[in-house]
Amino acid sequence: MEQVERQFAAVKHALEYLTENVGPFPWPHLTFVDPPANSGHSGGMEYTTLFTSASSYMMPGFFHLPEMVTIHEFGHAYFMGILASNEFEEPWLDEGVNSFWEERIVDNYYGKNSGLLDHPWLKIADESMSRLSYVDSGSRQTVSNAEYSWNYPHGTYGMMSYMKTANWLYTLMGIVGEETTNEIFREYYRKWAFKHPSGKDFVNVANEVVARMHGNKFGPDMNWFFDQTLYGTGICDYKVAGLRNEKLERSKGKVQAGDSLDRKLALSDSLSYYKAVVQLERAGEVMLPVDVLVHFDNNEEVMESWDGKSRFKDYTYTGTRKIQWVKIDPEFKIKMDVNYINNSKTVDPDHVPVRRLTNKLISFMQFFVNFISL
Ligand SMILES: [Zn+2]
């Protein structure tokens, strides 16, 4: 497909998705320009009802970079065009919110796990690329996400205002759900279109919508979330510290009248009893609720809900079953968790060299994508 057609399709996707999940595009026309190859620096820039996209020679069909840039620049019609926030003072509310929507749109239309790169040998979601830029950054804790654009130190502006924001918005969506997240943005649009909302206005809308849709499920408001993610500098890292299946000593003695069934079973020769323990730790400062999936050797599973507040948490199961493996956040709701590798453990540990190799390839891709400023 010609790149111009790819870009037209991308604009239609973005228009459809944002109209449905945020609000209508209010203008009767839209112009986008794909600058010629010798003026590449004018690509990837936004003005209301006009933006420039970016294509290049030899862009293979499996690499959706032109689509990503097009969707991103179109998205600015909403985030700061319609929702006219102050990009210089609160870049997260402009670039970060827009990146969150760009990633959702790209992965929705071009593949949940392959939105950015869809090759038989390597698939990368737009969301994963963005997440890795945050979790791989050595400077992710130097400053909060609520900084003036000119104050970000050590080259952290892009990683913080684009990627960290998108990452905690995904995490918010993992906690409160997709429909609630969309409703937050619809309400933000209804209330603040063509006005000049600040970050606090967005937080207030989120608090109001979450309370309306979930009552007190997450507390009186979501400030505990925003204080840690938007206004804080901590990292989130939950890990499985250990797994133990301790065989219980068979009780001494014989079955007697009046013994419980459990004791009778424990005394019979055919069954072994175990004290099975999962040991979890919170290695980061950020406290978020997490699901914990425990899988036993008889294929039974238990999903625990940990509020994630204490420094450690043990779950103990006594019976005839042994734990085989455990996974924190099995549905990847908590995208802020900076280390997924320590989220699971099996009794016979599986090594994960494939994932490390993928990380290297993704770093290489990031290097490539970073040539384009969005
Ligand atoms: Zn942008």
DSSP letters of 178-227? Answer: HHHHHHHHHHHHHHHTTS---HHHHHHHHHHHHHHHHTTTT-S-SHHHHH
Task: Give me the helices (H) in the chain, please.
Answer: 3-21, 65-75, 91, 97-110, 126-135, 157-158, 165-176, 178-192, 199-214, 223-229, 261-267, 353-369
Q: How remote is the CA of residue 266 from the centroid of ligand 1, in Å?
A: 65
User: How many angstroms does the Cα of residue 75 sit away from the middle of ligand 1?
Assistant: 8
DSSP structural state of residue 63: B
Cβ distance 196 to 85 under 8 Å? Answer: yes
pLDDT score at 368: 55
Ligand 1 center to 67 CA (angstroms) = 14
Residue 251 — very low, low, confident or very high, per pLDDT cuts 50/70/90?
Answer: low
Are the beta carbons of 107 and 71 closer than 8 angstroms? no
What is the sign of the dihedral through the CA atoms of 262, 263, 266 and 267? negative
**Contact assessment for residue 228 and residue 286, using Cβ atoms and an 8 Å cutoff:** yes
Query: Separation of 175 CA from ligand 1 center, angstroms?
Result: 26
For residue 41, CA distances in Å to 35, 37, 158, 242 come to 9, 9, 17, 51
* Ion ligand 1, residues whose Cβ is below 5 A away: 95, 374
Mean per-residue pLDDT over the chain, rounded: 90
| Å from CA of 146 to ligand 1 middle | 17
Cα 46 to averaged position of ligand 1 atoms, centre (Å):
7
Cα 287 to ligand 1 centroid, rounded to whole Å: 30
73 CA to middle of ligand 1, Å? 6
Higher pLDDT among residues 313 and 372, named by residue: 313
Q: Does residue 326 sit in helix, strand or coil? A: strand
CA 84 to ligand 1 center in whole angstroms: 14
| Backbone phi and psi for residue 238, each to the nearest 5 degrees, phi listed first | -100, 145
Phi and psi angles of residue 27, each rounded to the nearest 5 degrees, phi first: -100, 150
> How far away, in angstroms, is 179 Cα from ligand 1 center?
25
pLDDT, average across residues 59-74: 92
Helix (H, G, I), strand (E, B) or coil at 266: helix
Output the CA 79–ligand 1 centroid distance in Å. Answer: 9
Q: With 70 as the cut, is the pLDDT of residue 155 above it?
A: yes
Q: How far is the CA of 24 from the centre of ligand 1 (A)?
A: 20
- Rounded to the nearest angstrom, the distance between the alpha carbon of 88 and the centre of ligand 1 is 12
Q: Which residues lie closer than 8 Å to 231 by C-beta, 6 or more apart?
A: 144, 145, 146
Out of 19-33, 39-53, 160-174, 305-319, least confident range: 39-53
Contact between residue 173 and residue 229 where contact means Cβ atoms under 8 Å apart? no
Q: Closest Cα partner for 145 from 95, 216, 207, 70?
A: 95
Q: 3-state DSSP call for residue 297?
A: coil
How far apart are the CA of 83 and the centre of ligand 1, in A? Answer: 14
Q: Would you give the distance in Å from CA 312 to the centre of its chain? A: 23
Rounded to the nearest angstrom, the distance between the alpha carbon of 90 and the centre of ligand 1 is: 13
Given a cut of 50, whether residue 351 has pLDDT beyond it is: no
Ligand 1 mean position to 140 CA, how many Å?
A: 20
Contact call for residues 78 and 85 (beta carbons, < 8 A): no
CB neighbour burial string for 192-228, b if at least 16 within 10 angstroms, e if fewer: bbeeebebebbbbbbbebbbeeeeeebeebbeebbeb
Per-residue pLDDT, 199: 97
259 versus 235: which is more confidently predicted?
235
pLDDT for 43 beyond 60: yes
Centroid of ligand 1 to alpha carbon of 158 (angstroms): 10
Q: What mean pLDDT is predicted for residues 104-114?
A: 96
Q: How many angstroms separate the alpha carbon of residue 255 from the centre of ligand 1?
A: 74
pTM for the model stands at 0.89
User: Does position 373 have pLDDT exceeding 60, yes or no?
Assistant: no
98 CA distance to ligand 1 middle (Å): 7
